[in-house]
Amino acid sequence: MHAHTSGKAHIFRSVVFHSLLAALASSISASDAWKPDASGDFTKEPGSAYEARMGSWEAERFGMFIHFGLYSIPAGAWDEKNIGGYAEWIQANADIPAKDYATLATQFNPAGFNAEAWVLAAKHAGMKYLVITTKHHDGFCLWPTKLNRDWNVATTPFKRDILGELSAACQKHGIRFGTYYSITDWHHPAQFISRDAAGHAPKGSYFQTRMHDGRKAEYVAYMKGQIAELIQRYDTDILWFDGDWVGWWTTDDGKDLYNYIRSIKPSIIINNRVSKRGSFKLDFGTPENETPGAALNHKWEACWTMNNSWGFKSADKSWKSPGDLIQKLIDINSKGGNLLLNVGPTEEGLIPQPSLDGLASMGEWLKVNGPAIYGSTHADLPRPAWGRITRHGAQQLFLHVFNRPADGVITVDGIQSAEAKATLLADGRELSVEAGKNRLQLTLPADAVTPPATVIALTLSQGWQPAPKTGGIALQADDKFLPAAEARISGQGPLKLEAGEHLGYWRRNGQEAGWSFELVLPGDYEVYLLCAAPAGKAGGKVELTSRHGKLVAQIAAQGKDWNDYQLVRLGTLKFPKMARESLAVEGVEKTSGAEGFMNLKGVVLRPVAK
Ligand code: FHN
């Protein structure tokens, strides 16, 4: 019988324990960090060393992304016209001649820049780290680099070392300092933008910069020199690469750069865009303005804008609400990810007020509910219809209720626990818990609801069994899995999500399930349905449609019952580029006499081996 402690104290003790674990992990000095053998290959780091090195970053769960640079001056408009797309892409989207874009460097003077104000905005929002664009695709450097004499902050009216002031403020306020660095560089002379006979840049030529023959080594040396400055001068803890998509940058180039960086600072954290984001997963994956539909089998951080532009865009007023932002943080953490939330300071160096307002609301919510976020991770339970679940360790769950069911009954499937204690984080009120077969239930009083997420700490006397994510079918590391829980159901009929992990009652022709997702790795994909269709009970003609083609299949007897899942191959689709994609599966014509088409756990997109 465990000693009875008050609800809050019990939770506090558990969260403190895990926070201490994370702090211990972060106390691993560079000298303790794992070092490779003579091969110098840091990607061979053993899992235990990797976990120890990544632990504190993972426990921090929430960071600030800052997009600031010359592009903050035009703020998405050029020659008095609003330019479509991201503000930091204005040079490309308006195809601004380099000499005209360079005039921005003579105007750059963010008189309102106050590093401490940025850092405190992050800290008061509950953010534990920040990542700033030290050099975006335009190649302009926010620090007095020695690697170029004419394209950095020292050559502007502002002159001050923005990175130096920001890293010092981070140090002072206990915020982890991180740095973004773009591999593609529209300014460096080794690279060029393809142009037509008239000198115009055809669509995509800024996206796919070209490397002059024989000058790649020169540019890689330039990058390595600048990265050494970011590490040795500013002690950056995170190197957040971008622009990895260019054709002249290879997986091996990325691995070489990864090893170079870790050889300088063994404890540093490097994102997967150091190489090719679709195939390289160290140290963490980086979905962008998209949250994976389920937990991933590698560490990851989703980066999101607060409106629709990374750099400040004066015309973009489409700010996400504080409630959306808080639920996004919870959703991401519940799938084992970190959230890197972006601010785009103005040309004066000020974070826009709507961003400050959203951050302040998140900070207020986290003051009360932080124990359910920091150190949290995926609970490996069916995702409930009422919200999300995070966990600390084996027996501390947090229920984040977005939508209180009409009857107030909160059901947690997949739990077998003789004893459980439920406590509202907001006021410590205890709620009674009933244990059912493989589930727990409690009633949330209407007056206890605190939008946008009411958090209940659920402490179990014993562990629980993981939910059948893919029905025992092992997926491959690079499979793109579109889970049932993320499907949008349409059409008239009883089709619905069951137990948070499969679509059932697929009984009527014409109903469909659709997914929207970020396709990171362009190429050919085998397309499969992960479905159960017992002989004599299920089957029918289904169609999978995407903008890249339609696949038709006749689902026949698959497996012995409604829980016997198989991968059914529909065919192949080609996804030409990294983009947001969508696809839908429609039950076109059910087999005569069948109860339903199938039970569907999800769609699997498997890259065709090259
Ligand atoms: O092209 C950039 C974009 O400007 C922005 O920096 C985002 C944020 O990570 N990354 C690239 C788009 O994937």
pLDDT beyond 50 at 540: yes
In terms of pLDDT, which residue wins out, 484 or 20?
A: 484
Classify residue 357 by burial, with Cβ atoms within 10 Å: 0-12, 13-18, 19+.
middle
SS3 letters across 397-440: EEEEECCCCCCCEEEEECCCCCCEEEEECCCCCEECEEEECCEE
pLDDT at 471 (0 to 100):
62
Q: Identify the bridge partners of residue 178 per DSSP, sorted by sequence position.
A: 131, 238
Does 21 score more than 50 pLDDT?
A: no
Residues with beta carbon inside 6 Å of ligand 1? 86, 88-89, 242, 288, 303, 310
Please tell me the distance between residue 94's alpha carbon and the centre of ligand 1 in angstroms.
17
Q: Which residue has the higher pLDDT, 461 or 529?
A: 529
Nearest CA to ligand 1 atom 6: 310
CA 601 – ligand 1 centroid, Å: 32
| Residue 295 confidence (pLDDT) | 81
CA of 303 to the centre of ligand 1 (A): 9
DSSP helix/strand/coil, 88: helix
Predicted pLDDT of residue 522:
82
Report the percent of the chain where pLDDT is more than 90.
76
Q: Specify the pLDDT at position 483.
A: 85
pLDDT at 475: 76
Label residue 470 by pLDDT band (50, 70, 90).
low
Contacts (Cβ under 8 Å, ≥6 apart) of 580: 290, 516, 517, 518, 519
The structure's pTM equals: 0.78
Relative to the CA of 286, which ligand 1 atom is closest?
9
How many other CB atoms are found less than 10 A from the CB of residue 593?
A: 8
Ranges 100-114, 293-307, 522-536, most confident: 100-114
Backbone angles phi, psi at 390, to 5 degrees: -120, 165
What would the mean pLDDT of 21-34 be, rounded to a whole number?
A: 54
Say how many Å lie between the CA of residue 608 and the centre of ligand 1: 27
**Which region among 218-232, 334-348, 440-454, 574-588 has the lowest average model confidence (pLDDT)?**
574-588
595 pLDDT higher than 70: yes
Q: What is the best residue among 70, 88, 272, 310 to mutate for testing ligand 1's pocket, by most ligand atoms within 8 Å of CB?
A: 310
> For residues 183 and 392, what is the distance between their CA atoms, to the nearest angstrom?
37
In whole angstroms, what is the distance from residue 291 CA to residue 335 CA? 9
**Rounded Cα gap, residues 64 and 66, in angstroms:** 6
Residue 503 or residue 439, greater confidence: 503
* CA 67 to centroid of ligand 1, rounded, Å: 9
Confidence (pLDDT) at 382: 75
Q: Note the pLDDT of residue 468.
A: 46
Residue 417 binned pLDDT confidence (cut-offs 50, 70, 90) = low
Arithmetic mean of pLDDT over the chain: 91
Residues in the chain: 610
> With contact defined as beta carbons under 8 Å apart, do 308 and 70 qualify?
no
Structure confidence at residue 80 (pLDDT) = 95
Closest CA to 186 of 278, 273, 94: 94
Tell me the C-alpha distance between 552 and 588, whole Å: 10
Average pLDDT in the 515-539 region?
90
Residue 64: enclosing H or E segment and its boundaries?
Answer: strand 62-66
Return the pLDDT at 469: 56
Full 3-state SS string of 27-58: CCCCCCCCCCCCCCCHHHCCHHHHHHHHHHHH
Distance CA(25)–CA(33), nearest Å, equals 10
